[in-house]
C-alpha cells in the first residue's frame, strides 16, 4: 500500500510538472513573438500609442489606445544610433520626450535614448 501511494504521488508530481512546462513554453512563445522587433540590447519600458498626440497614453502591458483604439507599441531604451527621441525611463513619465539629452521635467531622472518598436 505504501509503495502504491509513493508511485501515485510521483506520477502526480510528474503530471503537474509537465503542465507547468507546457504553460511556460506557451508563455515563452508569446514573449518571443512580442519581442521579435526588439533586439537583445534594448529594454522594453512600457507600451504607448504610436500617435504623437496620444503619447500620454501608456501601459505596462500591450493593449489598445483608449483614445483612438490603435494597438499600442513598445517604447524601448535603445542605443543612440537607433534612437528616435530622449525619454524618461519611468512608465508614468512616458509623455516626456525630447530631441536632446537632459533630465525628465517630472522627476529629474536622466533621459535615455529611446524608440518606439512598431510592427
How many domains does the structure of the chain reveal?
2
With contact defined as beta carbons under 8 Å apart, do 94 and 56 qualify? yes
CA 81 to chain centre: 21
**Domain span including residue 20:** 1-34
For cell 534612437, name the residue: 83
User: Do 13 and 66 belong together in one domain?
Assistant: no
For strands 58-59 and 85-87, give the pairing: unpaired
For cell 527621441, name the residue: 85
Query: Which parts of the chain register pLDDT below 50?
Result: 20-35
User: Do 62 and 46 belong together in one domain?
Assistant: yes
User: Do 74 and 90 belong together in one domain?
Assistant: yes
User: Do 20 and 72 belong together in one domain?
Assistant: no
User: Do 19 and 73 belong together in one domain?
Assistant: no
- Per residue in 66-77, pLDDT (tens digit) is 999 999 999 999
User: Do 4 and 54 belong together in one domain?
Assistant: no
pLDDT score at 111: 97
User: Do 48 and 16 belong together in one domain?
Assistant: no
User: Do 9 and 44 belong together in one domain?
Assistant: no
User: Do 42 and 30 belong together in one domain?
Assistant: no
Amino acid at each position: 500500500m505504501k509503495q502504491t501511494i509513493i508511485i501515485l504521488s510521483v506520477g502526480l508530481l510528474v503530471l503537474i510538472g509537465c503542465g507547468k512546462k507546457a504553460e511556460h513554453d506557451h508563455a515563452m512563445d508569446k514573449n518571443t513573438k512580442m519581442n521579435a522587433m526588439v533586439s537583445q540590447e534594448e529594454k522594453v519600458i512600457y507600451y504607448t500609442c504610436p500617435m504623437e498626440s496620444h503619447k500620454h497614453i501608456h501601459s505596462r502591458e500591450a493593449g489598445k489606445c483608449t483614445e483612438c483604439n490603435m494597438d499600442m507599441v513598445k517604447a524601448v531604451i535603445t542605443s543612440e544610433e537607433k534612437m528616435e527621441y530622449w525619454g524618461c525611463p519611468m512608465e508614468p513619465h512616458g509623455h516626456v520626450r525630447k530631441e536632446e539629452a537632459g533630465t525628465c521635467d517630472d522627476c529629474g531622472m536622466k533621459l535615455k535614448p529611446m524608440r518606439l518598436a512598431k510592427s
